[in-house]
Chains A and B, each alone.
Chain A
Amino acid sequence: MTTPTELSEPAAPGSRAGHTAAARPRKPGRVRRLSKRDKVVLGIMVGIPTLVQLAFVWIPTLLSVLLSFTRWNGLALSDIRAAGLANYSYVFTDNPAFWPAVQHNILWLLFLAVIATPLGLLLAVLLDQQIRGSKIYQSIFFVPVMLSLALVGIIWQLFYQKDNGLLNFLLGTAGTPQAVDWFGNSSVNIWAALVAATWRHAGYVMILYLAGLKGVDASLKEAASLDGANATQTFFRIVFPAMAPINIVIVVITIIESLRAFDVVWVINKGTNGLELISALVITYLIGEGQSIGIGSAFAVILLVISLVPITIYLSRTFRKEKF
């Protein structure tokens, strides 16, 4: 779980703007000034990380694509058979879990985008005002962000249990036949899992927006209020647009988090019975019974293709102005 790739982003534009000017003069010809020894050192400094990155991230990704066109039980390499598009046609037409998984991934995205992310933004806006105890509130909302999603699943399991969980006590249904098994009942467990995921996501969004709000020039807000704009207008017309770079980061994080969602459902029931997700299907076919590497890889490739959309948006925004 690593989405904070973007953590430094809100801060970057300011610092970059200040520095590109200073850094300008060192444009061409730097490499020529390097000695032979420097070139070797540089080669090692670039070579080792690049090799690690290629060998354990990009080559496996490429192999996922290749394996998705084969039939293999994962035992001997000589057993790999070409399968053409058979895995994909199986996934799209015959696999009973695929379309539910797609629906759940979309639902996950919508829930985070419509509820968790705006909630995080709201908390950030409220806490950005100079109110008493702001630091305490921030710490409370931030605690779940420090926890692993697996642990989040277990903690909420204690809360959601059918007969001994707090929620059913509060609803007055604990011990009665009406008691809902929140994580077990396939018609509600996705929602229960989404609430648990929101608990963590909203705090994350809050902390990113708090940093973003601090970066908005105060004179902009004052100018707006001088012009007679009220707080809501100032926020939506001035402050929110001024945070464009961080908004992109949040959009990308939200999409990627919803594609990466795995730990919570795996902890609950290994992504079955109402909690199917594409990421969980990949692993089910890898380590589950009836191992089928080809089908698992087809799921992985579908996940890859979808992920490339937010990744491309993010990269093109981040590196667009980048010229050395």
Chain B
Amino acid sequence: MSASTTARRARPAKTGAGHGRSRPHYGTHIFLTVMAVMWMIPLGWALFTALRPKADTDKYGYFSLGGAFNFDNFAQAWTQGGFPRYFMNSLIITVPTIILVLLCSSMMAFAVSRVNWKFNITLLIMFTAGNLLPPQVLATPLFEMFKLIQLPYWFSDSGSLLNTYISVIIANTAFQIGFCTFVLSNYMKALSADLTEAALVDGAGIWRQYVSIIMPLCRPAIAALATLELIFIYNDYFWPLLFIQSGDRLPVTTAINNLQGTFLSNYNLLAAGATITVIPTLVIYLALQRQFVAGLTLGSSKG
């Protein structure tokens, strides 16, 4: 910053103190409060419906305060809807995907950002573009490819990759690598070149530079990406819908749609099921909010 900007900044700060900063912003608050209330209505309504027994809503109507409020619907939805199974499936799909994505993308990002070779930018562009495609563009051939891959029946009861967790893991991994590679390569590019130059002089090979120098420095970025990916993969609806036919192998997000059939017109149970599905994302958000925000400002802090 030059001296002139600092001098310039000093003056309005004084006038601003009495003016802009401490103004109460009544209009803004009213607008924001109205918007915030509207924003909470859909989820609030689901929660409200979920807390009331069906018998009471039938008696008093859904738009009423009469009757009991309890967690019976949650308990019933949990067992009747088969949530333990679905959450397990989500876990089986999400955890390996995140590990594979971060492993592949960090290696790729290292290679394109820390080593200078002919096609690094070309490859980085290819990775970034791949992530921007609508998944439906590649859905059909991917489905047919997975169907054609023959697997022994002890491994997959469909005899192919269809209807396996692996198919969803592969599709998600391939689709997410591009995004993580792009973010990580930007992050790694911002790390000083001297770090690896020095290591090179000391005779450290590429693998050593990656594992013991660059990766430890990327820990904040990796943590942020892991949080983002956790949400992305948990929320993925499309790939399981496409590849998995057996209902008992679906992850929560895709399975919730089938609950509409299971619970028929019992909206209280459906609302409870929807609320149960929301809970993990909210827990992740509240627990890892810092990582999440870090994900948004990635690369700027590490200068």
Contact = CB atoms under 8 A, between A and B. Distances in A.
A109 B107 CA distance: 36
A199 B206 contact: no
A85 interface: no
A114 B220 CA distance: 36
B171 A56 contact: yes
B253 A260 contact: no
Nearest to A126: B28
A7 B133 contact: no
Nearest to A127: B32
Interface residues on B, range: 35 or more
A303 B136 contact: yes
Interface in B228-250: 228, 231-232, 234-238, 241-242
B36 A300 contact: no
Contact of B140 (A3, A64, A127, A315): A64
A150 B137 contact: no
B87 interface: no
Contacts, number: 352
Contacts of A126: 28, 31-32
Given A49-B105, A158-B267, A293-B144, A1 B236 contact: yes
Contacts of B171: 56
B253 A34 contact: no
Contacts of A203: 39
B216 interface: no
A58 B136 contact: no
Given A58-B130, A141-B35, A222 B12 contact: yes
B226 interface: no
Given A126-B31, A154-B256, A155-B43, A8 B298 contact: yes
Nearest to A63: B141
A130 B29 CA distance: 12
A177 interface: no
Main secondary structure of the interface of A (DSSP, over half): helix
Interface residues of A, number: 126
B130 A57 contact: yes
A120 B176 CA distance: 25
Interface string A122-164: 0100110111110011001111101111110011111101001
B274 A155 contact: yes
Contact of B183 (A8, A64, A207): A8
Interface in A242-269: 252, 256, 259-260, 262-263, 266-267
B66 interface: no
A11 B271 CA distance: 39
A160 B294 CA distance: 36
A252 B8 CA distance: 36
19 contacts: A2-B176, A5-B128, A22-B193, A34-B206, A52-B170, A52-B174, A57-B138, A60-B141, A67-B141, A131-B25, A148-B235, A154-B256, A158-B46, A166-B41, A169-B62, A199-B39, A199-B42, A219-B5, A267-B237
Interface of A: 1-5, 7-8, 10-12, 14-16, 18-19, 22-23, 25-28, 30-31, 33-35, 37-38, 41-42, 45-46, 48-50, 52-53, 55-61, 63-64, 67, 74, 77, 123, 126-127, 129-133, 136-137, 140-144, 146-151, 154-159, 161, 164-166, 169, 174, 196, 199, 203, 207-208, 211, 214-215, 218-219, 222-223, 225-226, 252, 256, 259-260, 262-263, 266-267, 278-279, 282-283, 286-287, 293, 296-297, 300-301, 303-304, 307, 310-311, 314-315, 318-319, 322, 324
Given A42-B111, A283-B139, 9 more contacts: A42-B117, A49-B127, A52-B174, A58-B126, A61-B138, A157-B260, A199-B39, A199-B42, A286-B140
